[in-house]
């Protein structure tokens, strides 16, 4: 599933040892948790802190009673500096950072250790500069040095460019390197199909705004032979890895949170931002103006943003209420970047009103980027031209009503060689294949029905196959379906195909997608 943030309910706030709990029981529980975690190494601890060994103290008891409060590390597999940068509240007085990780941070998807020393210090420095760590100047001055090693820990080469370490891939939601590759390749394909007729990469200048570790830009290696490609991101570790493994053919730089780009006016032919403005809300307008500044007149800005699918999946509430009062919806606006940042959802009406005041919008396609994020394709207007009066909305993806017990997708069956606006949804002619997946909470699919514009059509035999797990529905994995119908009696033009899946226990779910009959 592309772009999904790993939103999980926060566990209870039991992250330290209660100093007033008289606390033999509580301390014994903490000792047992830490011992069972495998992250405390007694021999390493005694070797690292000879004063504990010389005093003849039990290393684990010392760490729980005093060592954690003194900032000591429990072992080589838990980096206190890194974790405090990622979760600054773990540095509060009376909080044991390792216990905080075991009881809270791990459940939120955090790692116990940085990829390298540079990443660890970057995170720590960001937290201290932001005033989120309660350390004195004296304690900070005890940091003797930081080594940014020129040692990209890349996986085995994949084609001409190496894949990133899995630790970096996981941070952006790609839990496997196969999914990392699949998502990047799929996004590039959609970008290419959205470019205006006649767009030529030869001699062009392109920017991946918010490139991360290069999930998308890496797939433009062929185009970069004759074009100048840049990538930028605020994460120093990602940019260092990209520079060390993908330069050439690409160029990268680390941007700050200040909305400025170090490029000349009207100097880029293409800028794309994938899942960036689904996390930027307070200064989005400044960034939009800056992107407009560096685009050439007529230059293309491809933006993906969070719409209905991520809204309902992440928040578990219907989109209808937001759609009735469209605008910009910000979840967790004060969430730090180390904790995933805020989550920003935009309605098409908001995009048209606000982004359309700065750019000419070619079209938006809700939830159409890999059936998850929405697409907006814009161009910098020529000087002296008024804003366009209307925005085209292309309904290319699956549409479905919110159902807390059911969800699914219908695979798009378009012609990938054609421009996006000329081929989307399902292209039908004669016997037409319909495929997708369904997840029914606590139920299993039993029957499938098809309809076109509300009128039932006969479906061919349905093949059901087990699919991947769906989110936290442990008892309800995805089920992949494949069927077909005869479109020869349907008039040419655009229609609506509806797929209804019924479960063995009575759960029913309806999904729809554009059907374009040749």
Q: Give the residue from 116, 141, 166 where a domain finishes.
A: 141
Mean pLDDT of the chain: 88
pLDDT of 46-59, one tens digit each? Answer: 999 999 999 999 99
First to last CA, the chain: 31
* Whole-angstrom distance, CA of residue 414 vs CA of residue 424: 5
Residue 432 maps to a domain: yes
Question: Which CATH number does the domain housing residue 504 bear?
Answer: 2.60.40.10
What range defines the domain where residue 460 resides? 400-517
**187-226, pLDDT tens digit by residue?**
999 999 999 999 999 999 999 999 999 999 999 999 999 9
Cβ atoms of residues 396 and 384 within 8 Å: no
- Please indicate, yes or no, if residue 324 is contained in any of the structural domains: yes
Residue 359 and residue 253 share a domain: yes
Residues 408, 378 share a domain: no
200 lies in the same domain as 320: yes
Q: What pLDDT, in 10s, does the model give residues 356-405? A: 999 999 999 999 999 999 999 999 999 888 888 889 999 999 999 899 88
Q: Is residue 151 part of a domain?
A: no
Mark whether 180 and 261 lie in a shared domain.
yes
190 in Cβ contact with 375 (< 8 Å): yes
- Which of 100-109, 266-275, 277-286, 364-373 is predicted with the least confidence, judged by mean pLDDT? 100-109
- As for how many domains the chain has, the answer is 3
> Does residue 146 belong to any structural domain of this protein?
no
4 part of a folded domain: no
Domain check: are 343 and 369 in the same one? yes
Q: Which residues pair with 409 in a beta bridge?
A: 437
- Answer positive or negative: Cα dihedral of 250, 255, 259, 263: negative
Say how far apart CA 341 and CA 120 lie, in whole Å: 18
Count, residues in the chain: 518
Dihedrals phi, psi of 475, to nearest 5 degrees: -95, 5
Q: Work out the pLDDT band at 260, boundaries 50, 70, 90.
A: very high
């Amino acid at each position: 599933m592309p772009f999904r943030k790993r939103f999980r309910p926060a566990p209870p706030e039991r992250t330290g040892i209660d100093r007033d709990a008289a606390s033999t029981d509580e301390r014994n529980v903490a000792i047992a948790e830490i011992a069972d975690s495998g992250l405390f190494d007694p021999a390493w601890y005694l070797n690292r802190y000879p004063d504990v060994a010389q005093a003849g103290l039990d290393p684990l008891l010392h760490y729980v009673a005093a060592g954690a409060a003194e900032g000591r590390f429990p072992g080589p597999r838990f980096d206190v500096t890194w974790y405090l940068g990622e979760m600054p509240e773990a540095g509060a007085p009376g909080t044991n950072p390792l216990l905080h990780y075991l009881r809270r941070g791990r459940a939120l998807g955090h790692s116990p250790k940085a990829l390298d020393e540079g990443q660890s210090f970057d995170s720590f420095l960001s937290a201290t500069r932001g005033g989120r760590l309660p350390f004195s100047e004296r304690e900070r001055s005890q940091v003797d040095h930081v080594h940014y090693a020129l040692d990209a820990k890349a996986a085995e080469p994949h084609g001409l460019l190496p894949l990133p370490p899995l630790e970096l891939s996981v941070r952006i939601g790609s839990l496997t390197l196969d999914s990392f590759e699949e998502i990047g390749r799929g996004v590039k394909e959609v970008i290419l199909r959205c470019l205006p007729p006649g767009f030529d990469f030869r001699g062009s200048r392109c920017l991946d705004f918010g490139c991360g570790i290069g999930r998308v830009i890496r797939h433009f290696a062929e185009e970069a032979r004759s074009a100048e490609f840049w990538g930028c991101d605020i994460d120093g570790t990602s940019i260092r890895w990209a520079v060390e493994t993908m330069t050439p053919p690409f160029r990268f730089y680390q941007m700050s949170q200040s909305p400025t780009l170090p490029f000349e006016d009207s100097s880029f032919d293409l800028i794309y931002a994938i899942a960036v403005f689904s996390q930027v809300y307070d200064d989005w307008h400044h960034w939009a103006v800056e992107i407009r500044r560096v685009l050439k007149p007529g230059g293309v800005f491809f933006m993906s943003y969070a719409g209905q699918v991520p809204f309902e999946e992440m928040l578990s509430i219907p989109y209808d209420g937001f759609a009735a009062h469209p605008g910009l919806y910000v979840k967790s606006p004060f969430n730090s970047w180390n904790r995933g940042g805020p989550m920003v959802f935009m309605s098409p009406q908001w995009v048209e009103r606000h982004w359309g005041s700065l750019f000419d919008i070619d079209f938006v396609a809700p939830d159409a980027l890999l059936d998850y994020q929405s697409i907006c394709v814009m161009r910098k207007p020529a000087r002296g031209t008024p804003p366009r009066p209307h925005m085209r909305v292309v309904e290319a993806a699956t549409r479905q009503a919110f159902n807390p017990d059911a969800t699914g997708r219908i695979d798009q069956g378009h012609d990938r060689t054609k421009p996006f606006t000329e081929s989307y949804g399902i292209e039908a002619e004669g016997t037409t294949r319909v495929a997708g997946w369904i997840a029914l909470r606590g139920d299993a699919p039993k029957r499938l029905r098809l309809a076109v514009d509300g009128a039932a059509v006969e479906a061919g035999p349905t093949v059901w196959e087990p699919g991947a797990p769906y989110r936290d529905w442990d008892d309800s994995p995805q089920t992949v379906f494949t069927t077909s119908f005869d479109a020869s009696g349907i008039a040419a033009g655009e229609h609506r195909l509806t797929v209804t899946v019924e479960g063995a226990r009575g759960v029913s779910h309806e999904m729809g997608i554009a059907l374009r009959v040749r």
